[in-house]
Structure 1
Amino acid sequence: MSTLRTVLVVGGGAAGCAATILLRRAGLTVDLIEAKDDWNATAGSGITLQGNALRVLRELGVWERVRESGFGFGSVGITAPDGTVLHVARDLRTGGDDLPATVGMRRPRLQRILSDAVRASGATVRLGTRAETFAQDGDGVRVRFDDGAEGRYGLVVAADGLGSATRAAIGVTDRPEPTGMAIWRVAAPRPAGVVRTDLCYGGPAFIAGYCPTSDTTLYAYVVEANRDRAAIPPKSYADEMRRLAQRYGGHWSEITPHITDPAQVNYTWFDRMVVEGSWHRGRVVLVGDAAHCCPPTLAQGAALSLEDAWVLAQLLTGADDWDDALLQAYYERRIPRVRAVVEASVRIGQWQLDGVRDADVTGLMNRTMTLLKELP
């Protein structure tokens, strides 16, 4: 039976944009809806993109813009709280030898690059729009939107993030669960000596680190035990982060004075989730954070989301029928890799919560990164 080869992508983040670009390249009709009126108004100070993420961005045709906009590097430093560098390790090139090991960049800049590529692909984009209901039959999905419009599609790709309304609407009951940690993030000017990510495990917080995002900028972060969000008024965000950061030395002495504007500081709990069994119900399929999420201890959240979109697009464009077996094959191909990354990311944080002093953090990171060198 021939499949109605039209796709609705719900959500305009990394996974949704990637799926849209790849499906449009294959000649499919794609509509993308995004709940925000301005999908480029992306919160967040910065993002660390490792080689396996860069590999997908190259496939999307945006690698040159990413390279020009970010800061590439190939090592990570481990420091003491006073800033003394204890060890420098070379990062694995998980995207292959022809790509940097890591690129740091401003998160809103990455979103702009991806959204520009979506528009250039010829996809129909509707901002400020939500899907309300999904009525499925044997060969399609009728979707009703919050503005009263309706559309019929051969497949719906749910890329609407951690709190995915689509996931709930199709009866998937999994929800993100807090791991017990939270992170403060801020963008700041880059000191000339910051040419890689440096991490400190310990001190007044569990982790303190920074990542260059351009020739002139970086993003800095401090990880602590999560606190009741209601007890931290947003107007105090800069004071709270600065209180933790000012107890670290080295380049932190140049970064901390810039933590002054609470509107520029982001506070987020660490969550974990892996939807098990399948990532689809009928002709609605989950990608990215709608299907799985993990703490950023391995900096793999966006990479896994981009990989999901790449794998799903490969399967969809190579098949005549988008049936249950095809969508289950997508899950079976992704789940071992995703589960391994989520479990490793959570374990690194749990070791710190439990005060394990002899934890093999470096070994676990290396084993996981080695796994990610393989194509998804």
Structure 2
Amino acid sequence: MSTSRRVLVIGGGASGNAVTILLRRAGVTVDLIEARPDWNATNGSGITLQGNALRVLRELGVWEEVSACGYAFGSLGVTIPDGTVIHEIEDIRTGGEDLPATLGMQRPRLQQILIDAVRACGATVRLGTTAKTLEQDADGVSVRFSDDTTGRYDLVIAADGLNSATRAAIGIADKPEPTGMAIWRTPTPRPAGVTRTDLAYGGPAYIAGYCPTSENTIYAYVVEANRDRASIPPETYADEMRRLARAYGGVWPEIVEHITDPAKVNYTWFDRLLVEGSWHRGRVVLVGDAAHCCPPTIAQGAAQSLEDASVLAELLTSGRDWDEDLLQAYYERRIPRVRTVVEASVQIGQWQLDGVRDADVPGLIGRTMNILKELP
């Protein structure tokens, strides 16, 4: 493979950062642009990473830092609203027996680790920059940026998220669709008894849960039916989350004491997206949330985005021509696995919206995770 190839990565989230690191390792010239001037380094509360996500982070060379910053655990607790545990599920080690089944960590810390790795790999990074136009021909893509500079690339990788402007620009009309649910999230100090994720079903919300993100922190979340965002002033976010969370027992009263700063509370609708047919048009290809997104009901969003980056980088550095067949092979390798995750994640939420009391949630999660044990 020629090392003179040049790639533009649009978007500096998990998938964009990961594919940048892997391509640079193979000697490909990579420019990464990110719309946010701060590289999204401080936003978010926490993230749950399953073993298959950890496997890619190890491939990126950042596993030791991630392990040192995060909180690993191997089971999931299901409780009733008063906090009584009624079921314990052993998490499946989707990344192999030599990695934890699950690890929680602070999302800003993960992003900073990936930012540092991108900086170290030698990619050119431009923050506060977007792609204004993309003009393709048989040999590559000419890009005009938001500052009116230009660049010429053999391939453009669109990692610009759920509402990807690049996806629309290349004529893919798919858009995210709300599933009917929304989530309140916030970081708080870790109660001494929290050593894994516990999920409470019932009460005023569909789910109330938490995940340890370090020795000292967790992120807590409450899932309810989505509301008109305009009807919830941001300054009331802490009040709204506290109102829902107060109905739960166990460690929740301790958590509620710390839900005081509305600026630290995030409110987000659950969306579904799955681009079918192909994830590319010409020499522009989608990865991560630009191609697919699902509710976090089985905590696979980041994992699937990281797997996209790993598989695409593997194919691009395999010595094959960068042609239609290669980019279609990427899609065909990823789509069955991603479709399984998206459909399972949406189904779990739909069962709750429909009030299905005998839904086999543990069975569906188990079947999905066993599939994810296989390499992507």
Q: TM-score, normalised by structure 2?
A: 0.99
Shift of 1:89: 1.5
Contact 2:3 2:29 in 1 (8 A): no
Distance, in Å, in 1 between the alignment partners of 2:50 and 2:14 is 14
Amino acid at match of 1:359: A
Question: How far does the alpha carbon of each residue in 1:58-115 deviate from its partner, in whole angstroms, 9 at most, with x for none?
Answer: 0000000000000000001011100011111210000000000000000000000001
Tell whether 2:191 aligns with 1:191: yes
Aligned counterpart, 1:288 = 288
Contact 1:74 1:91 in 2 (8 A): yes
Contact 1:40 1:115 in 2 (8 A): no
Contact 2:320 2:326 in 1 (8 A): no
Q: Secondary structure at the match of 2:143?
A: strand
Distance, in Å, in 2 between the alignment partners of 1:222 and 1:370 is 27
Distance, in Å, in 2 between the alignment partners of 1:91 and 1:265 is 28
Distance, in Å, in 2 between the alignment partners of 1:156 and 1:371 is 30
Q: Which moved more, 1:320-329 or 1:58-67?
A: 320-329
Distance, in Å, in 2 between the alignment partners of 1:28 and 1:202 is 51
Distance, in Å, in 1 between the alignment partners of 2:2 and 2:112 is 36
Distance, in Å, in 2 between the alignment partners of 1:185 and 1:125 is 30
Q: Which moved more, 1:4-13 or 1:231-240?
A: 4-13
Amino acid at match of 1:60: L
Shift of 1:121: 0.1
Question: How far does the alpha carbon of each residue in 1:294-326 deviate from its partner, in whole angstroms, 9 at most, with x for none?
Answer: 000010000000000000000000034100010
Q: Secondary structure at the match of 2:32?
A: strand
Amino acid at match of 2:146: D
Give me the identity figure in percent: 78
Shift of 1:42: 4.0
Give the 3 Å change call, closer, same or farther, for CA 29–108 of structure 1 in structure 2.
Answer: same
Tell whether 2:250 aligns with 1:244: no
- 1:63-102 alignment to 2 at 5 Å? 63-102=63-102
Give the 3 Å change call, closer, same or farther, for CA 340–366 of structure 1 in structure 2.
Answer: same
- 1:289-328 alignment to 2 at 5 Å? 289-328=289-328
Q: Secondary structure at the match of 1:7?
A: strand
Question: How far does the alpha carbon of each residue in 1:134-193 deviate from its partner, in whole angstroms, 9 at most, with x for none?
Answer: 111111100000101000000000000001000011000000000000000000000111
Contact 1:208 1:221 in 2 (8 A): yes
- Runs (4 or more) in structure 1 with deviation over 3 Å come to 1-4
Contact 1:184 1:222 in 2 (8 A): yes
Q: How many residues align?
A: 376
Return 5+ residue gaps in structure 2 as ranges: none
Shift of 1:43: 2.1
Aligned counterpart, 1:60 = 60
Q: Secondary structure at the match of 2:337?
A: helix
Tell whether 2:41 aligns with 1:48: no
Amino acid at match of 1:174: D
Give the 3 Å change call, closer, same or farther, for CA 194–2 of structure 1 in structure 2.
Answer: closer
Q: TM-score, normalised by structure 1?
A: 0.99
Distance, in Å, in 2 between the alignment partners of 1:4 and 1:78 is 53
Distance, in Å, in 1 between the alignment partners of 2:319 and 2:178 is 38
- 1:1-376 alignment to 2 at 5 Å? 5-376=5-376
Amino acid at match of 1:255: I
Alpha-carbon RMSD:
1.1
Contact 1:315 1:326 in 2 (8 A): yes
Amino acid at match of 2:322: W
Shift of 1:128: 0.5
